[in-house]
Structure 1
């Protein structure tokens, strides 16, 4: 069995990790709602993750990547306690990349973000904004290794963790790591997201 290596991401990883996340979220209900054209989604989705990683998550120090061998296969974008909000400067810098990805559908992305912010808990926690593995490596343990890496740190720090599941099929997966559904966020004329909270162990 190939060993899975997890390490902090660096700027040079952004191109590869954004492509991995673009493929991972291609069939995601929320991403399909935001980018309904399947051809455009396949071509542009990685730009969303590149912009968010480059202009927000990477500077927080919570981005990790997993690989089995030399090929990066999974990535997780975590924000440390108290650092999940995007600053105005980050939003301005990310805007061109998000506009290139979403085009006229950018308003949908903003609606989703506003609703997510409204439901976001105030108690300090590690926030898992995004986690995904390339469909070609699913089942190889890379996503699980990423989850364990950060959740072990949460437990060591006695810190809760929070995420929103954008796909109902993934809720059971997160529950296996100790997350519990705390509500439902219904997007306008769209799918739902499920806020999930995990107490430290």
Structure 2
């Protein structure tokens, strides 16, 4: 994948563009159709909802893109408890109406299944539609996994399709018990165990 643009940190002032990219990539997913039943409202509501979380990740995690801004990965550092976004309930209601209750249901499901051990949480991995299946998602995964492996931290995510579930499985993620939205749309939580690279191990002969 040497031909791909290299990963880089996104800037805070890119949060709107990042949120729109994620929304566009997620539009075909089954859970999204339940969250926002009206297709005419779906993109705008998703973008505004994702913006709350993307903005939060700049303070409590990392947002990586490729240099051509064709893909993004949004990580939260769950090595210690993190607070919810500022005024989250008010902001959620403001941007998700009339479907706020559906987003609240999703939040409760995520919270109920989220592991408590220290880890990094991959909240979003999105690739622009015209660039999918080109290795861009894999490039962003490998970039952050390398950092996790240097310090021996695990990772967690919720895959929202069987295709993404299978992609993550190829990168060392192990399946946990799936959970479902009220209409039956399925999420596949997955856990990547900590990997200790040689660089993170004590020097040979050290006490």
TM-score by length of 1: 0.88
Q: 1:179-194, aligned counterparts within 5 Å?
A: 179-194=173-188
Deviation at 1:166, TM superposition (A): 1.4
Q: What is the CA distance between 1:94 and its match in structure 2?
A: 7.1
Offset at 1:61? Answer: 3.5
Separation in 1 of the partners of 2:142 and 2:73? 11
The structure with the largest alpha-carbon Rg is 2
Query: How many angstroms apart in 1 are the aligned matches of 2:154 and 2:145?
Result: 9
Q: How many residues align?
A: 194
For structure 1, list consecutive stretches of 5 or more residues without a partner in the other structure: none
Cα distance, 1:44 vs structure 2: 3.0
Q: What is the aligned partner in structure 1 of residue 26 from structure 2?
A: 25
Q: Structure 2 length as normaliser, TM-score?
A: 0.86
CA offsets 1:93-126 (integer angstroms, 9 cap, x no match): 5743x33442121111111111111111111111
- 1:92 partnered with 2:87: yes
How far did 1:194 drift?
1.1
Distance 2:185 2:31 in 1: 6
Instruction: State the secondary structure of the residue aligned to 2:107.
Output: helix
Higher helix share: 1
Which structure 2 residues correspond to residues 32-181 of structure 1 after superposition, within 5 A?
32-54=33-55, 56-67=56-67, 71-83=68-80, 85-87=82-84, 90-93=85-88, 95-96=90-91, 98-181=92-175
Query: Which runs of 5 or more structure 2 residues have no equivalent in the other structure?
Result: 196-207
Residue deviations 1:64-110, cap 9 Å, x none?
A: 1113xxx41111110113356443xx2415743x3344212111111
Question: Which portions of structure 1, spanning 4 or more consecutive aligned residues, are displaced by more than 4 angstroms?
Answer: none
RMSD, aligned α-carbons: 1.9
- Measured after TM superposition, the shift of residue 60 of structure 1 is 1.6
Secondary structure of the 2:64 match is strand
CA distance in 1, matches of 2:12, 2:173: 30
Mapped partners of 1:21, 1:39: distance in 2: 17
Taking the aligned partners of 2:29 and 2:113, their CA distance within structure 1 comes to 20
